[in-house]
């Protein structure tokens, strides 16, 4: 059945033939009309199939997006604004703060000078034993080197290249203008995932099938085509090449006049002419674009560093606010005990928490918007069973304090404090993630917020945290011991 589905003409033809037979069995005069319908449908189907194949071939390439200087300068200006915000929100009088700000500004200034750089940095990436060291040395050799362009190596010197693992490849290539990615066969899944991560960061890549000489001559073009098919739509065909940086020595037999012979191994010359030609073409035509893309990528990385510092400062400001509101919610629940299912009616109180935390992270919410957000979250937390789970976790810790437990509102108050803290910490996590990923939509997404709530709830089920929360609740809600009355003496 599966092979038939992959052949639309065959499936359509069989179906139409069966239809014509059925029409003929009903009325012989309809056979002619049915035959015409068959050929018309076949022609139409052929046209649709051809168009589909054409669309498949003409998929837009996503390998590299050229970057103009205006976009890079805008990215650098945005980083400067972030550094100014950080300087404002930090205590500038502290020596360590001053050092941090100066360091960040120096890094930003260095990126600005990179715009005038003329040399190109290469990164040689791939799994172990794919030939990175050999190719690096080969391209640095004066007899092989690409002319008219000064080539540097990123992450490691040309004479001391490092081995790159799939996990570290993206980080190591951060400062590279052009990535030479080596493989020795069809692309593995780990290599494919690494390549996709590099492409997401807008790296320019040349994919090299090295050590092709170790395969049979008939198999080499087949493997190269498999690699190109796997990377279709991600890399241009001309950017995927087969080379042999260090061919395997071959045995040569030399016959002597006396009929004897001697054997020796000879080292064939490297087969990198196609790479040399393509590399020269890329560096001649795209050097400025490659440098601009690298500077923009570096600006984005520096932006993430600054934003992480900002998030740390803002988290320090947010935690006391969360603690304040958790006890406001706890007090309301303690004073007016409600069934556990309605525990999150305190969402109205906690709407102000959303407003205050949003202001810290420069996310503007009106009070009505905040009420809607917290109401949705409260409803979802109930549906997820978090309210019941919180009560079940806290209740045993309170039972040892019989008088307090019987008092009624302590369980609800403690649970309200716990869930409010979970909601507050989840909002902090949500805002931090949003600030670090420009691709995320600015509008509040309840589904992403729920993912944060689940993760924060799981992380805060530690017994020591709950014991600490219960202890604080008892300090706030436990009835004061009665002072025994004294009998006046006569």
pLDDT, one tens digit per residue, over 158-172 is: 333 333 344 456 777
Q: How far apart are CA 408 and CA 336, in angstroms?
A: 10
Residue whose token pair is 């069973």: 385
Q: Is the Cβ–Cβ distance between 398 and 390 less than 8 Å?
A: no
Q: How far apart are CA 153 and CA 178, in angstroms?
A: 10
Q: How far apart are CA 173 and CA 197, in angstroms?
A: 11
DSSP element (H, E) containing 121: strand 120-126
Counting DSSP H helices and E strands in the chain, the numbers are 17, 7
Residues facing residue 182 across a β-bridge? 126, 208
Residue 401's pLDDT is: 60
Per-residue pLDDT, averaged over 470-490, amounts to: 59
Residue 50's pLDDT is: 44
Whether the per-residue pLDDT at 71 is higher than 50: the answer is yes
With cut-offs at 50, 70 and 90, classify the pLDDT of residue 230: very high
Q: What is the strand order of the sheet 120-126 is part of?
A: 151-153, 120-126, 178-183, 205-209, 240-242
Q: How far apart are CA 181 and CA 193, in angstroms?
A: 13
Residue 156's pLDDT is: 39
Average pLDDT over all residues of the chain: 77
C-alpha to C-alpha distances, 435 to 86, 201, 237, nearest whole angstrom: 14, 18, 37
DSSP element (H, E) containing 73: helix 69-89
With cut-offs at 50, 70 and 90, classify the pLDDT of residue 329: confident
C-alpha to C-alpha distances, 217 to 103, 213, 214, nearest whole angstrom: 56, 8, 9
With cut-offs at 50, 70 and 90, classify the pLDDT of residue 108: very high
Domain boundaries, the chain: 2-57, 69-300, 313-477
Residue 404's pLDDT is: 52
Of the two residues 345 and 426, the one the predictor is more confident about is 426
Q: Is the Cβ–Cβ distance between 245 and 131 less than 8 Å?
A: yes
Q: How far apart are CA 391 and CA 383, in angstroms?
A: 14
Of the two residues 431 and 329, the one the predictor is more confident about is 431
* 3-class DSSP assignment, residue 106: helix
Residue 416's pLDDT is: 84
pTM of the predicted protein model: 0.73
Q: How far apart are CA 287 and CA 281, in angstroms?
A: 10
Cα radius of gyration rounded to whole Å, the chain: 34
Q: How far apart are CA 244 and CA 240, in angstroms?
A: 14
- Chain segment 413-469, per-residue pLDDT in tens: 888 888 889 989 999 999 999 888 877 767 788 888 888 988 898 888 777 778 888
| CA atoms in the 13 A half-sphere facing the CB of 485 | 2
Per-residue pLDDT, averaged over 68-83, amounts to: 95
Tell me what percent of the residues of the chain surpass a pLDDT of 70: 73
Structure tokens, 153: 């190596």
Q: Is the Cβ–Cβ distance between 191 and 280 less than 8 Å?
A: no
Structure tokens, 345: 């009616």
**Cβ burial, residue 377 (10 Å; 0-12/13-18/19+):** buried
Residue 349's pLDDT is: 76
C-alpha triplet 413, 415, 420: angle, nearest 5°:
95
What are the backbone dihedrals phi and psi of residue 468, each rounded to the nearest 5 degrees, phi first? -65, -40
Helices marked H in 366-408: 367-383, 386-399, 402-406
Phi-psi region of 238 (alpha: psi -120 to 50; beta: other; left: phi over 0): alpha
Q: Is the Cβ–Cβ distance between 3 and 10 less than 8 Å?
A: no
Instruction: Mean pLDDT check: name the lowest of 27-36, 252-261, 316-325.
Output: 27-36
With cut-offs at 50, 70 and 90, classify the pLDDT of residue 54: very low
Residue 344's pLDDT is: 52
Residue 209's pLDDT is: 97
Q: Is the Cβ–Cβ distance between 381 and 344 less than 8 Å?
A: yes
Q: Is the Cβ–Cβ distance between 235 and 229 less than 8 Å?
A: no
With cut-offs at 50, 70 and 90, classify the pLDDT of residue 40: very low
Residue 345's pLDDT is: 56
Instruction: Mean pLDDT check: name the lowest of 44-53, 154-163, 276-285.
Output: 154-163
- CATH code matching the domain that covers 69-300, chosen among 3.40.50.620, 3.40.50.300, 1.10.1040.10, 3.30.70.100: 3.40.50.300
Residue 177's pLDDT is: 93
With cut-offs at 50, 70 and 90, classify the pLDDT of residue 5: very low
Instruction: Mean pLDDT check: name the lowest of 5-19, 193-207, 241-255, 389-403.
Output: 5-19
Whether the per-residue pLDDT at 80 is higher than 50: the answer is yes
Q: Is the Cβ–Cβ distance between 180 and 283 less than 8 Å?
A: no
Q: Is the Cβ–Cβ distance between 136 and 160 less than 8 Å?
A: no
Residue 45's pLDDT is: 45
Sequence-distant (≥ 6) Cβ neighbours of residue 416 within 8 angstroms: 326, 329, 330, 332, 333, 334, 343, 344, 346
Whether the per-residue pLDDT at 348 is higher than 60: the answer is yes
Instruction: Mean pLDDT check: name the lowest of 7-11, 220-224, 477-481.
Output: 7-11
Sequence-distant (≥ 6) Cβ neighbours of residue 140 within 8 angstroms: 151, 158, 159
Using DSSP bridges, classify how beta strands 250-255 and 261-266 pair: parallel, antiparallel or unpaired: antiparallel
* CA proximity to 227, closest of 181, 270, 286, 271: 181
Residue 399's pLDDT is: 67
Residue 213's pLDDT is: 93
**Cβ burial, residue 393 (10 Å; 0-12/13-18/19+):** middle
Q: How far apart are CA 183 and CA 171, in angstroms?
A: 19
* CA proximity to 46, closest of 15, 8, 84: 8
Q: Which residues of 207-217 are buried (b: 16+ CB within 10 A; e: fewer)?
A: bbbbbbbebee
């Amino acid at each position: 059945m599966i092979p038939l589905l992959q052949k639309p003409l065959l499936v359509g033809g069989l179906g139409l033939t069966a239809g014509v037979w059925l029409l003929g069995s009903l009325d012989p005069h309809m056979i002619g009309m049915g035959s015409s319908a068959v050929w018309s449908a076949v022609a139409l189907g052929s046209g649709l199939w051809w168009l589909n194949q054409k669309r498949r071939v003409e998929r837009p390439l996503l390998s590299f997006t050229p970057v103009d200087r205006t976009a890079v300068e805008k990215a650098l200006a945005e980083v400067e604004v972030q550094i100014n915000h950080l300087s404002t929100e930090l205590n500038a009088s502290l020596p360590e703060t001053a050092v941090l700000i100066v360091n960040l500004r120096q890094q930003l200034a260095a990126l600005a000078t990179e715009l005038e750089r003329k040399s190109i940095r290469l990164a040689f990436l791939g799994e172990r034993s794919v030939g990175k060291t050999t190719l690096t040395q080969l391209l640095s050799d004066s007899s092989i080197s690409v002319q008219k362009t000064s080539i540097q190596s990123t992450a490691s010197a040309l004479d001391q290249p490092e081995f790159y693992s799939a996990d570290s490849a993206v980080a190591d290539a951060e400062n590279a203008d052009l990535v030479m990615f080596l493989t020795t066969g069809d692309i593995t899944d780990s290599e494919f995932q690494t390549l996709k991560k590099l492409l997401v960061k807008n790296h320019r890549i040349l994919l090299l099938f090295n050590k092709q000489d170790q395969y049979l001559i008939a198999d080499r073009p087949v493997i190269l085509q498999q690699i190109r098919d796997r990377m279709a739509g991600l890399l241009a065909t001309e950017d995927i090449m087969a080379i042999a940086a260090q061919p395997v020595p071959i045995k040569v037999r030399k016959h002597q006049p006396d009929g004897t012979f001697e054997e020796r191994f000879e080292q064939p010359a490297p087969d990198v002419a196609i790479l040399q030609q393509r590399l020269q073409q890329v560096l001649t035509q795209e050097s400025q674009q490659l440098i601009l893309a690298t500077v923009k990528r570096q600006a984005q990385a520096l932006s993430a560093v600054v934003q992480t510092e900002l998030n740390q400062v803002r988290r320090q400001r947010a935690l006391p606010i969360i603690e304040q509101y958790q006890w406001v919610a706890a007090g309301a629940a303690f004073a007016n005990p409600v069934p556990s299912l309605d525990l999150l009616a305190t969402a109205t109180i906690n709407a102000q928490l959303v407003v205050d935390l949003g202001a810290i992270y420069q996310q503007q919410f009106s009070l009505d918007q905040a009420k809607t957000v917290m109401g949705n979250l409260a409803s979802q937390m109930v549906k997820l069973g978090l309210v019941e789970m919180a009560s079940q976790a806290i209740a045993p810790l309170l039972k040892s304090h019989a008088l307090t437990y019987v008092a009624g509102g302590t369980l609800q108050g403690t649970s309200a404090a716990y869930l409010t803290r979970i909601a507050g910490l989840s909002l902090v996590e949500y805002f931090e993630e949003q600030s670090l990923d420009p691709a995320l939509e600015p509008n509040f997404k309840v589904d992403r917020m729920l993912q944060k709530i689940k993760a924060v709830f799981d992380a805060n089920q530690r017994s020591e945290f709950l014991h600490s929360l219960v202890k604080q609740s008892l300090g706030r809600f436990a009835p004061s011991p009665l002072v025994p009355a004294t009998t006046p003496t006569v």
